[in-house]
């Protein structure tokens, strides 16, 4: 007879993205068994990892759960993150490693609150302060946008008309470089 062991946590995703001067880390689970907590760990060289945050796990569930953590003080240059899941018995498992570059050159753009309601698009950017924005439907039709820089450094984009349900592409251009994000309107 084979003794099958149930894995303590089924991790669906683990991501890290720059948002201004911070790094937003998020992950999703679909199952947890005897899970105590998650530690967000960071390294500058893929050698030694240090814990920068700790989030309590749900413990035992078969539901989808979404978790998030903001690294308020990322390192200059490359930041390598991993998630360490710790069981109630002290055993630990590491996730894949994801990288984020924080410098004064590398551009980044993140749509906040995606999916959106179609009225406003809020975007966090890094090293793209004077970018121009273009919103297109999947059919390739460009939709006019008005932009307004917010006090927190994010950009608020308002379509000329409310967007209908569907998928759009937001393109930011600056000095010949462009970043594209998919936007979902519910």
pTM of this prediction exceeds 0.85? no
pLDDT tens, the chain, 186 aa long: 444 445 578 899 999 999 888 999 999 999 898 899 999 999 999 999 999 999 999 988 889 899 999 999 999 999 999 999 999 999 999 999 999 999 888 888 889 888 899 999 999 888 888 899 999 999 999 999 999 988 877 899 999 999 999 999 999 998 888 999 999 999
Q: Do domains 11-102 and 108-185 have the same CATH topology?
A: yes
**Strand segments (E) across 72-141:** 77-87, 92-94, 98-102, 108-112, 121-126, 132-137
Q: In the CATH scheme, what is the code of domain 108-185?
A: 2.60.40.10
Q: Domain locations in the chain?
A: 11-102, 108-185
Q: Domain 11-102: which topology?
A: Immunoglobulin-like (2.60.40)
Q: Tokens 């814990």 — which residue?
A: 51
């Amino acid at each position: 007879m084979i003794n099958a062991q149930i894995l303590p946590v089924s991790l669906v995703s683990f991501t890290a993205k720059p948002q201004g001067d911070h790094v937003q880390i998020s992950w999703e689970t679909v199952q947890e068994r005897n899970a105590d907590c998650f530690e967000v760990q960071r390294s500058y060289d893929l050698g030694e990892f240090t814990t920068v945050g700790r989030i309590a796990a749900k413990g035992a569930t078969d539901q989808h759960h979404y978790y998030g953590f903001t690294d308020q003080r990322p390192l200059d240059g490359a930041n390598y993150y991993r998630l360490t899941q710790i069981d109630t018995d002290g055993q630990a498992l590491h996730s894949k490693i994801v990288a984020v570059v924080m410098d004064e050159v590398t551009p980044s753009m993140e749509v906040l609150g995606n999916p959106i309601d179609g009225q406003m698009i809020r975007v966090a950017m890094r090293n793209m302060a004077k970018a121009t924005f273009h919103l297109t439907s999947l059919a390739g039709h460009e939709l006019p946008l008005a932009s307004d820089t917010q006090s927190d450094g994010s950009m608020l984009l308002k379509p000329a008309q409310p967007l209908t349900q569907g998928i759009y592409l937001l393109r930011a251009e600056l000095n010949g470089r462009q970043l594209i994000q998919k936007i979902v309107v519910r």
